[in-house]
C-alpha cells in the first residue's frame, strides 16, 4: 500500500513562514525508504520536533517526512555511555531515562524537545561550546538513508565526507535513521552557577574572556534595549555540574541525588492555548521586563540550580512562542569571529537598540573552534541570539544586520534563519561548494529539498 500523507500547514517555531506541506509519518523503518521510492512527491525533507525557527523543516507543496514514531532506544553501553537510538528519539527522552542512571547529554541546546536527527542536522551547540564543541563531537556514527535508498554507516572514519556534510547539513543529504551518541557521566542533577551582573558589553566580554575557562557552561542574557553607557548590560550565568559530595546534606543521599532530583519534565508543563494579542511583547512591555529582569539579579556565586531550570528555562511553557502573537517572530542568531567580535557585537546591539525593535530574549555565548561540518554554524568567537517580533520593515532591517554580520566576517545560524538571502549565505559559508558536490553525488535525482534549501540556493 502507498504511504498515506496529510496535507497540513506547517511552520517552524517562529511561526513564520507558514507553508502547506504534505506530511508523511512512517511507522516502520521500511516505510521511510518506501516513501522516498513512492514517487508521491517531487521532493522530501525530514522534520523532527519542529524547533527550528524558519523554513528548514518545511517543503512547500512537497513532501515532509516526519519519523517521530521511529523513536526507539536500541542499545546502551553502561561503561562507555554510548547510546544507540533511532533518530526520532528526543533529547528529553534521553534525559528522562538516562539521567536517573547518572548520564546526561554532552551538548544540549536551550530546549530538550529536539530529536537526535534534528540535533545532527543542525549540528547544535549549547552553553559549553567554548570547551566541548558542538553535538557532532559526541556522535560516534550514524546510519544514513541516502536519497538513492542505500543505508550508509557514516562516521569521521567511515565515509567522513558524508558524515561532515550531514552534520549541519539541514537534512539535505538523506535521512538519519539511527545514531550512536556518547553520553557524559554526571554526579548529580544540579549545577553550581555563578551569577555576575555586568554593567555593559565591555564588562561582560572582559569577564567572560578572563574566566570562562573555569566554567563548563557559560552564557549571558543581554538587555538588548539598553543604550549608551549601559549598552549590552547583562547577567552572566556560568556553571559546572555539582559533584555529589558538594551537595547540601539534604540532597546527598546517594540513592536520591539523581533519582529524586527535581524532575526534568518530558512534556512541557503549561500550555499557552491562546495567542497573546499581537503587540503584547512590544517595546514598552519588553523594556519593563528587561529592566526588572536585570534589576532582580544579583552577583552571587555558587547557586545550586537544577538541570531543568539551568538548561531549559523556557521549556516549561509549552508554545511560549505564542506570547508573540499570531504574527510570530524571527529568531536571529549570528556567530562573529574572535578578532572582529567586539566591534561587531557593539555595532549590531547598537543598531538593534536604536531601532526600537524589542527583543526580550538576547543571549550571548562564546564559541570555541569550528568543527569540520561543512555547513556547521559555530566558529571561534562569539554568538548572539535575538528574537525579534515580525513587524513592518523587519525583513529589510534583518538584511541590514546580515550585511553588518558579513562585514565583520560572521554568519547566520540556519536552524534559526527565515530571511537570509542566497548571496549573503554563500559569502558566509565558504564550504558551500564542497557541500553541494557531496550532496549532488548522494542525491542525483534531486529527491531532497526544503524551502530553506531553495531560498538559499543550496540545492
Partner 1 sequence: MSSIDNRQSSIGNEHGVQMPSVLILGANAGIGRALAAEFASHQYDLILAGRDLEELQALAADLNLRHKVSARAARVDVLEFEALEPALAACIAPAGDSLEGAVLCTGYLGDPEMARKDLNEARRILDTNFTGSVLALNILANHFEQKRKGFICALSSVAGDRGRQSNYLYGSAKGGLTTYLQGLRNRLYHSGVHVITVKPGFVDTRMVFGKAKLPLVASPGTVARDIYHAVKSKKDLIYVPWFWRVIMGALCLIPDGQFKKLKM
Interface residue list for partner 1 (CB under 8 A): 1, 4-6, 23, 25, 27-30, 72-76, 86, 97
In whole angstroms, the minimum distance from the beta carbon of 257 to partner 1 comes to 20
Kindly report the backbone phi and psi dihedral angles of residue 348, in degrees, each rounded to the nearest multiple of 5, phi listed first.
-70, -40
Indicate the residue among 178 and 439 with the shorter CB distance to partner 1. Answer: 178
Indicate the residue among 98 and 221 with the shorter CB distance to partner 1. Answer: 98
In whole angstroms, the minimum distance from the beta carbon of 101 to partner 1 comes to 10
- Cβ neighbors of 98 (< 8 A, separation 6 or more) are 76, 83, 104, 183
37: burial class by Cβ within 10 Å (0-12, 13-18, 19+)? exposed
User: Using CA atoms, how far apart are residues 83 and 77, in angstroms rounded to an integer?
Assistant: 7
In whole angstroms, the minimum distance from the beta carbon of 237 to partner 1 comes to 32
User: Using CA atoms, how far apart are residues 266 and 45, in angstroms rounded to an integer?
Assistant: 26
In whole angstroms, the minimum distance from the beta carbon of 74 to partner 1 comes to 5
Indicate the residue among 5 and 413 with the shorter CB distance to partner 1. Answer: 5
In whole angstroms, the minimum distance from the beta carbon of 327 to partner 1 comes to 26
**Cβ count within 10 A of residue 104:** 22
Indicate the residue among 28 and 252 with the shorter CB distance to partner 1. Answer: 28
Kindly report the backbone phi and psi dihedral angles of residue 207, in degrees, each rounded to the nearest multiple of 5, phi listed first.
-65, -45
Using the 8-state DSSP alphabet, how is residue 329 labeled? E
Q: Which residue has the cell 551569577?
A: 195
Beta strands (DSSP E) in 188-328 are 190-198, 217-222, 234-241, 270-271, 300-306, 317-318
What grid cell was written down for 349? 546591539
User: Using CA atoms, how far apart are residues 46 and 201, in angstroms rounded to an integer?
Assistant: 39
Neighbouring C-alpha atoms within 13 Å toward the C-beta of 206 = 8
In whole angstroms, the minimum distance from the beta carbon of 56 to partner 1 comes to 23
Q: Which of 352, 420, 343 is nearest to 387 (CA)?
A: 352
Indicate the residue among 29 and 441 with the shorter CB distance to partner 1. Answer: 29
Indicate the residue among 42 and 160 with the shorter CB distance to partner 1. Answer: 42
Indicate the residue among 103 and 382 with the shorter CB distance to partner 1. Answer: 103
In whole angstroms, the minimum distance from the beta carbon of 135 to partner 1 comes to 21
In whole angstroms, the minimum distance from the beta carbon of 449 to partner 1 comes to 21
Indicate the residue among 28 and 185 with the shorter CB distance to partner 1. Answer: 28
Kindly report the backbone phi and psi dihedral angles of residue 185, in degrees, each rounded to the nearest multiple of 5, phi listed first.
-75, 135
Amino acid at each position: 500500500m502507498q504511504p498515506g500523507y496529510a496535507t497540513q500547514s506547517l511552520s517552524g517555531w517562529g511561526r513564520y513562514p507558514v507553508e502547506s506541506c504534505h506530511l508523511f509519518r512512517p511507522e516502520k523503518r521500511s516505510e521511510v525508504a518506501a516513501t522516498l521510492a513512492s514517487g508521491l512527491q517531487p521532493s522530501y525533507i525530514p522534520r523532527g520536533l519542529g524547533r527550528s525557527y524558519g523554513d528548514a523543516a518545511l517543503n512547500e507543496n512537497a513532501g515532509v517526512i516526519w519519523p517521530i514514531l521511529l523513536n526507539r532506544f536500541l542499545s546502551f553501553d553502561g561503561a562507555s555511555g554510548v547510546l544507540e537510538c533511532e533518530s526520532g528519539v528526543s533529547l528529553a527522552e534521553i534525559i528522562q531515562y538516562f539521567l536517573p542512571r547518572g548520564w546526561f547529554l554532552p551538548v544540549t541546546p536551550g530546549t530538550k524537545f529536539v530529536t537526535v536527527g534534528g540535533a545532527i542536522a543542525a549540528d547544535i551547540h549549547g552553553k559549553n561550546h567554548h570547551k566541548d564543541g558542538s553535538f557532532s563531537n559526541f556522535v560516534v556514527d550514524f546510519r544514513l538513508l541516502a536519497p538513492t535508498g542505500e543505508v550508509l554507516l557514516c562516521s569521521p572514519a567511515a565515509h567522513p565526507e558524508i558524515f561532515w556534510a550531514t552534520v549541519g547539513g539541514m537534512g539535505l543529504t538523506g535521512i538519519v535513521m539511527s545514531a550512536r551518541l556518547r553520553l557524559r557521566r554526571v554526579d548529580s542533577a544540579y549545577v553550581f552557577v555563578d551569577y555576575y551582573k555586568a554593567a555593559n558589553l565591555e564588562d561582560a566580554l572582559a569577564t567572560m574572556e578572563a574566566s570562562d575557562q573555569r566554567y563548563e557552561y557559560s552564557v549571558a542574557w543581554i538587555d538588548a534595549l539598553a543604550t549608551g553607557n549601559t549598552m549590552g548590560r547583562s547577567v552572566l550565568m556560568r556553571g559546572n555540574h555539582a559533584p555529589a559530595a558538594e551537595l547540601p546534606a539534604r540532597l546527598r543521599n546517594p540513592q536520591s541525588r539523581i533519582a529524586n532530583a527535581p524532575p526534568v519534565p518530558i512534556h512541557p508543563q503549561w500550555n499557552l492555548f491562546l495567542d497573546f494579542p499581537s503587540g503584547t511583547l512590544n517595546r514598552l512591555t519588553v523594556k519593563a521586563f528587561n529592566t526588572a529582569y536585570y534589576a532582580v539579579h544579583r552577583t552571587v556565586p555558587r547557586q545550586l540550580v537544577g538541570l531543568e531550570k539551568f538548561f531549559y528555562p523556557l521549556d516549561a511553557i509549552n508554545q511560549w512562542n505564542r506570547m508573540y502573537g499570531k504574527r510570530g517572530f524571527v529568531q536571529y542568531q549570528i556567530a562573529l569571529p574572535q578578532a572582529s567580535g567586539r566591534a561587531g557585537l557593539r555595532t549590531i546591539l547598537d543598531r538593534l537598540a536604536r531601532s526600537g525593535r524589542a527583543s526580550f530574549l538576547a543571549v550571548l555565548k562564546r564559541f570555541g573552534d569550528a568543527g569540520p561540518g561543512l555547513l556547521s554554524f559555530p566558529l571561534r568567537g562569539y554568538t548572539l541570539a535575538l528574537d525579534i517580533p515580525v513587524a513592518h520593515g523587519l525583513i529589510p532591517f534583518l538584511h541590514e544586520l546580515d550585511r553588518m554580520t558579513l562585514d565583520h566576517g560572521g554568519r547566520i545560524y540556519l536552524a534559526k534563519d527565515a530571511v537570509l538571502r542566497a548571496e549573503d549565505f554563500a559569502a558566509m559559508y565558504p564550504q558551500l561548494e564542497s557541500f553541494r558536490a557531496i550532496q549532488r553525488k548522494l542525491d542525483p535525482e534531486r529527491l531532497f529539498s526544503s524551502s530553506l534549501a531553495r531560498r538559499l540556493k543550496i540545492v
